[in-house]
Amino acid sequence: MKPHLRTRPNGAANAFAWGFLNTVISRLGTLGIGIVLARMLGPESFGTFAVAMVALMAVLSFNELGVSLAIVRWPQDPAKIVPTVNTISVTGSTLFCVAAILAAPAFTTAMGDPDATDVVRILILSVFVNGIVASPAALLQRDFREKERLGIDQANVWIGAVLSVALALAGMGAMALAVGRLAGSLVSGVMFLAASPLPYRFGLDRSQVGPLLRFGLPLAGTSVIFFAVGYADQLTAGTVLGSTVLAFYVLAFNLSNWPVSILAQPLRRVAPAAFSSLQADRPGMNAAMESIVVVLAAATFPIVLFLAGSAVPFVEFVYGEAWVTAATALSWLVMAALCKVFCDLSYDYLVVLGRSGTVFTIQAGSLLVLVPLLAAGASWGGLGGLAAAQAAVTGCVVLPLYLWKLREHGLSLMGIGRKLRLPIAAGLATGAAARILALTVPDHLVALCSAGTIAALVTAGLLYLQRDHLKGLRSIGKPGTVEAPV
């Protein structure tokens, strides 16, 4: 039998460029709309919506049983498995959606906000939509078709945002955010189905069910643990400190993730397919990982540490005095977000190698440390203690475990570490300058603009110095024929 030939119409660099544009527009839009809604609704209504979002993300972490990622790394024609993936995904998402709707009252009571039950039930309907579009989204990711994703994601963001603002003005409170989010999901779901590279159909090839579940269930289990690691802080904030404090924490959490996600989100959509295309070339796969890490560090360290140093003036200037309490958590959470970017990238790398069990072990082990530390931090230090505990576990437990496993699979951590010294030093200097300006300049706008200019210049300089790594990334997934083993 001849090996299957797979063509990739778009390279990883081209996909990353479209993904980066998509993320920048989305993040700027959601940041602007978020500022408007935060000022309109206040911490109490935002806390109710935050409770609902935690419920949604919990179910989304495992709703399609992890089988859609099999499409991304499938070495042969994905058309053979897509109908079976659709059947498993939609069946699973339907069952989990119904279960979540029934469990909503118990969840909101545990989170200290029983009034959030209806908001949770409306928002949780997005789970069913997500299950339907899992395979079209994976097919677009597999083929690096981020240009198509741009239009879909923008429709999701802006339809949901505009509707949320209109409903908030009508006095619907937290329900405005839930309805807007669901409407955006429905529209984007229709667009995903229209853009799918393969016709959408159901089927059940019993010879494929076993391999798909053996691949997907460990990932689904890992995703549950991954959710618990990622959202244990918000669950602790809600159950220990209340939904209003949860609103402050979520605001700080979203701000901390905003700068790194601009680069990390498009990279994470491209990285699994890029690594998958190099599965037969382990040195090339390791070189791609090294280049992505170095470029990501150069692009994120100065911006993240600028935000950490400017936390108080940034929150007060952008969101208003009512939200300044969130700055207590922001400085810690930006450090946790930076570590998490590299943990997520390591996750993608290990999954493509078929080491989903290893990832599960890392996440489960870190969760055993995280939960008691979060509870202790929240009880002893309130909002700031909770954020500090999250940063400590992410940076001192989860990241080192991933680095250990990466070294076992052939990555030269010493070589990467030497290349990260300059971005780390430049980032620390940027953060120190931002902190000094925040303390000495009374005008918050002047302090933010000055520190932001420094961060932008330092980032541009670091990326220029990493131009060789950027060139190396351009060759990944370029148009051509890739032989995949049978």
3-state secondary structure labels for all residues of the chain: CCCEEEECCCCHHHHHHHHHHHHHHHHHHHHHHHHHHHHHHHHHHHHHHHHHHHHHHHHHCCCCCCCHHHHHHCCCCHHHCHHHHHHHHHHHHHHHHHHHHHHHHHHHHHCCCHHHHHHHHHHHCHHHHHHHCHHHHHHHHHCCCHHHHHHHHHHHHHHHHHHHHHHHHCCCCHHHHHHHHHHHHHHHHHHHHHHCCCCCCCCCCHHHHHHHHHHHHHHHHHHHHHHHHHHHHHHHHHHHHCHHHHHHHHHHHHHHHHHHHHHHHHHHHHHHHHHHHCCCCHHHHHHHHHHHHHHHHHHHHHHHHHHHHCHHHHHHHHHCHHHHHHHHHHHHHHHHHHHHHHHHHHHHHHHHCCCHHHHHHHHHHHHHHHHHHHHHHHHHHHHHHHHHHHHHHHHHHHHHHHHHHHHHCCCCHHHHHHHHHHHHHHHHHHHHHHHHHHHHCCCHHHHHHHHHHHHHHHHHHHHHHCHHHHHHHHCCCCCCEEEECC
409-436: average pLDDT: 90
pLDDT band at 6 (very low <50, low <70, confident <90, very high): very low
Mean pLDDT of 270-290: 71
Q: Output the six-digit token pair for 28.
A: 């700027």
Higher-confidence position of 7 and 30? 30
Q: Which residue has the higher pLDDT, 481 or 447?
A: 447
| pLDDT of amino acid 222 | 66
Using the predicted structure, report yes or no on whether residue 111 has a pLDDT greater than 90.
Answer: no
| Range 442-448 average pLDDT | 90
Average pLDDT of 360-386?
90
Q: Which of 96-100, 146-150, 303-307, 425-429 is least confident?
A: 146-150
pLDDT for the residue numbered 273: 63
**Residue 482: predicted pLDDT:** 38
> Crossing angle of helices 467-474/282-309, nearest 10°?
130
Q: Which residue has the higher pLDDT, 364 or 372?
A: 372
Asked if residue 13 has pLDDT above 60, the reply is no
- Contact between 155 and 188 (Cβ < 8 Å): yes
Task: Name the band, by pLDDT with cuts 50, 70 and 90, for residue 271.
Answer: low
Handedness of CA 220, 224, 229, 231 (dihedral sign): positive
pLDDT of residue 432: 95
Mean pLDDT across the stretch 447-459? 94
> Which pLDDT belongs to residue 17?
62
What's the structural domain count of the chain? Answer: 1
- What number is the average pLDDT over the span 437-450? 91
Would 484 be classed as within a structural domain? no
Of 228-232, 274-278, 405-409, which has the strongest mean pLDDT?
405-409
Query: Which pLDDT does position 352 carry in this prediction?
Result: 76
**Residue 110 or 182, more confident:** 182
Which residue did the predictor score with more confidence, 47 or 31? Answer: 47
Average pLDDT across the chain, whole number: 80
| Residue 179 belongs to a domain | yes
What distance in Å separates the CA atoms of residue 469 and residue 292, rounded to the nearest whole number?
8
Query: What is the C-alpha separation between 307 and 259, in angstroms, rounded?
Result: 9
Say if 326 falls within a structural domain. yes
Mean per-residue pLDDT, 373-393: 93
Domain assignment of residue 166, yes or no: yes
Residue 485 maps to a domain: no
Min mean pLDDT across 142-156, 241-255, 374-388 is at 142-156
- Is residue 391 over pLDDT 90? yes
On whether the CB atoms of residues 383 and 249 are closer than 8 A, the answer is: yes
Q: How confident is the model at residue 486 (pLDDT cuts 50, 70, 90)?
A: very low
Q: Residue 253's pLDDT is what?
A: 87
Residue 256 has what pLDDT? 86
Distance CA 2, CA 130 (A): 36
pLDDT at 484 over 60: no
**Domain of residue 36, residue span:** 4-479
Q: What is the pLDDT of residue 407?
A: 86
Beta strands in 194-286 (DSSP E): none
Beta-bridged to residue 481, according to DSSP, are 7
Identify the band that residue 75 occupies on the pLDDT scale cut at 50, 70 and 90. Answer: low
Which one is predicted more confidently, 345 or 9? 345
Is residue 103 assigned to a domain? yes
pLDDT in tens, 152-204: 888 888 888 889 888 988 888 889 888 998 999 899 989 988 888 888 888 88
Query: How would residue 1 be classed by pLDDT, with cut points 50, 70 and 90?
Result: very low
pLDDT for residue 264 is more than 80:
no
Residue 359 lies in a domain: yes
Confidence of residue 225 (pLDDT cuts 50, 70, 90): confident
CA distance 431 to 455: 8
Lowest mean pLDDT among 171-185, 358-372, 462-476: 462-476
Q: Where is pLDDT greater, at 326 or 213?
A: 326
Q: Positive or negative, the Cα torsion across 45, 46, 51, 52?
A: positive
Is residue 188 a part of any domain in this protein? yes
Asked if pLDDT for residue 349 goes beyond 90, the answer is: no
**Residue 3 pLDDT level (bands cut at 50, 70, 90):** very low
Residue 73, pLDDT > 80, answer no
pTM (predicted TM-score): 0.72
Instruction: State the average pLDDT over residues 402-409.
Output: 86
